[in-house]
Every structure is written in C-alpha cells, then in structure tokens.
Homo-oligomer: A and B are copies of this chain.
C-alpha cells in the first residue's frame, strides 16, 4: 500500500522514525509492500511545510539538525498549523508526536479526534490520550473506518500490544504483570549492587533516565498509566487513573534490597492487573519481592518486561527496551506496518 504521511510534531521521536523510514525504504517496499511519502510536517517550534506530491525528508532532517525553520525548505506551502495540516492536506495517515501534557492529553487528544473523525489513520506515541480515552478513540477510529495505533505508549518499540493482539491470538488473556518503568528498574538494579537509593537516583538522572523531578517515575505514576492502558486495551476494561492502587519505590532501603538478596529474591516495581471472577479487574502498581525463578526477576538495568497470563499457554513473557529515541520512533513503524497489513487485505 501507498501511505501519504503527515507529521504533527517533529521532535526526536519523529526524527527517529524518519531515519528508519529512509534507511529501510527498499526493504519495507520489498518485504511488506509498504510504500510511503511524507506530504507534510508541522511543528509548533520548527515551523510547517506541505507539498501534496511529497517532501524530500533528507532535506527536512538536515534543516532541523542545523536548527533551521521548515519555512526554509525550498518549495511547498508554509505556515499551516497542526489542525489545518490534519484537515486540509492530502495526508491519509497522521503521525502524532507532539509534546503533550500527559494529564490533559492535549493537544494530542484533539489532533487524534480530528484526524480519526476525518477518516484518517493515526499513529502516536502520546500516552495521555490512550490513558484517558483509549476505548472512545478506538471506537471513533472504527466508526470512521480508520486505524489508531499506539504501540509505543507501553514499552516503546517492544511490541507488547501487537504481541497480545496478534501473536497470542486464540488465547484468552486474563491478566498481566510487568516491569513497566525503566528508571525505577535501573535504580533497583544499582541498589542491588550496593548503591543507596539517593545515589542510584542521581546516577539515573545523570544518564537521562530520570527527570529533574523524578516523581512520575519513582512514585509509580508512569507505570500506573501503562497499567490503565493495558487493562483497557488488552483486558477490554474501562479503568481510570484512580482505579489502580499505587505505591512507588521511595520507601525501599538498601537493607530491604540486601535482605531480599539473601533470600534469593529481588525487589521490582510491578504493574499488574487480573480479571476477577465477577469480571471486575484488580489493578495495581506496587513493589514486589520476586523469587529469582520468576522471569521478571532477571530483568535488570533500564529494560522492561511484561508477562501475560493466558488460558492456553499460562504465563508468556516478553523482555525488551522500554524507552529510547529510535526505539520509540520504531514503534510508529510497527503501527504503520499493522495498518498496512490490515488494509491490504
């Protein structure tokens, strides 16, 4: 299939995807019959350019890397804002990668609704809209015969949603538990090496894993958003932010970690949900002391992992990266290839 793409937002994730699309153009065409042109890029800081016949994305990447505005691109229509780009261009698929407030979900939420309502596919790495309205947005996509892909919101490019939907097809998934935040897993790994919580946090900040205000990670809020998403998308529930019990890792001491080690166990911050006999779901983010025989116990550093409980296979676990510029960009390609497969049929 031929895709006409428009980038809404063009930060590191969008640039990461662009590099992959350029490097793999021939392979994607030959192996998956996936053909693409980018017709528009609109970024609130970097400017905007549209050419219905397609942009030279190598040139666009160069401009951005030199810190120049997209208006310096030699041809095309300049200055269209995000909504105009979504509505008025010939793009059939919107790549929504704006800086978005994870609490309100804006401006991504509006972008996604407008695009889906116009029958355009959306792929996006923005968590906010999926946490808040995955059920509604997937319904909106279906009503408009469009697709909404958001593989990157849980484990970046490690395709856990794809795994649940396609690879584990035929199973009933009754619950999951996972290491869904790389920063806290990195901190716990350093503490097991003997570092204090404070030193480990500082090290995580130096490496760029943790932000200056680490609350979102260490208090389990980031993992909580992912538990909400997985509960709604994979288990078919409709949980909100407040339906998940939560405790972070700030109270775990080096003594706790040593004691666990002596018992042959390891502390991990686990996000989990389990469908109950009455159909409700019990979801939480909580530190757990896992035996070393648990596949999640061996997952160290900033790596993520997720175990699905299935009726036919029992627990099935996937382990992979949970962050990274290029890995997150790649998640958008996972979504695009899924849409390509669903639509080529």
Question: Which residues of A are in contact with B by a Cβ distance under 8 Å?
Answer: 20, 24, 27-28, 32, 157-159, 162-163, 166-172, 189, 292-301, 303, 305, 307, 312-321, 326-327, 330, 333-334, 337, 341, 344-345
B residues in contact with A169, CB < 8 Å:
32, 334, 337
Report 27 cross-chain contacts, Cβ distance below 8 Å, ordered by A residue. A20-B170, A32-B169, A32-B170, A157-B313, A158-B313, A158-B316, A166-B166, A166-B167, A169-B334, A170-B333, A189-B293, A293-B298, A295-B305, A295-B319, A296-B298, A298-B298, A298-B299, A307-B319, A312-B327, A313-B320, A314-B320, A314-B321, A315-B320, A316-B319, A317-B317, A317-B319, A318-B318
Q: Give the nearest-CB partner of A305 in chain B.
A: B295
Q: Across the interface, do B312 and A157 meet the contact criterion of CB distance under 8 Å?
A: yes
Given contacts A295-B305, A296-B298, A317-B318, 5 further A-B contacts (CB under 8 A): A28-B170, A170-B330, A294-B298, A297-B298, A316-B318
**Distance between Cα atoms of A300 and B296 in the complex (Å):** 12
B residues in contact with A299, CB < 8 Å:
295, 298
Which 9 interchain pairs have the tightest Cβ spacing?
A298-B298, A345-B345, A317-B319, A316-B320, A293-B300, A295-B319, A312-B330, A167-B167, A170-B333
**Distance between Cα atoms of A312 and B170 in the complex (Å):** 28
Q: Across the interface, do B167 and A163 meet the contact criterion of CB distance under 8 Å?
A: yes
B residues in contact with A297, CB < 8 Å:
298
Give, as a whole number of angstroms, the nearest-CB distance from A12 to chain B.
15
Given contacts A167-B159, A293-B298, contact A319 B319 (CB under 8 A): yes
**Distance between Cα atoms of A52 and B159 in the complex (Å):** 42
**Distance between Cα atoms of A337 and B321 in the complex (Å):** 28
Give, as a whole number of angstroms, the nearest-CB distance from A33 to chain B.
11
**Distance between Cα atoms of A24 and B77 in the complex (Å):** 54
Give, as a whole number of angstroms, the nearest-CB distance from A40 to chain B.
23
Give, as a whole number of angstroms, the nearest-CB distance from A134 to chain B.
18
B residues in contact with A24, CB < 8 Å:
170
**Distance between Cα atoms of A17 and B301 in the complex (Å):** 40
B residues in contact with A334, CB < 8 Å:
169-170
**Distance between Cα atoms of A312 and B326 in the complex (Å):** 7
**Distance between Cα atoms of A303 and B299 in the complex (Å):** 16
B residues in contact with A162, CB < 8 Å:
166-167
B residues in contact with A292, CB < 8 Å:
292, 298, 300
B residues in contact with A172, CB < 8 Å:
27
Give, as a whole number of angstroms, the nearest-CB distance from A54 to chain B.
21
Q: Across the interface, do B170 and A337 meet the contact criterion of CB distance under 8 Å?
A: yes
**Distance between Cα atoms of A330 and B294 in the complex (Å):** 24
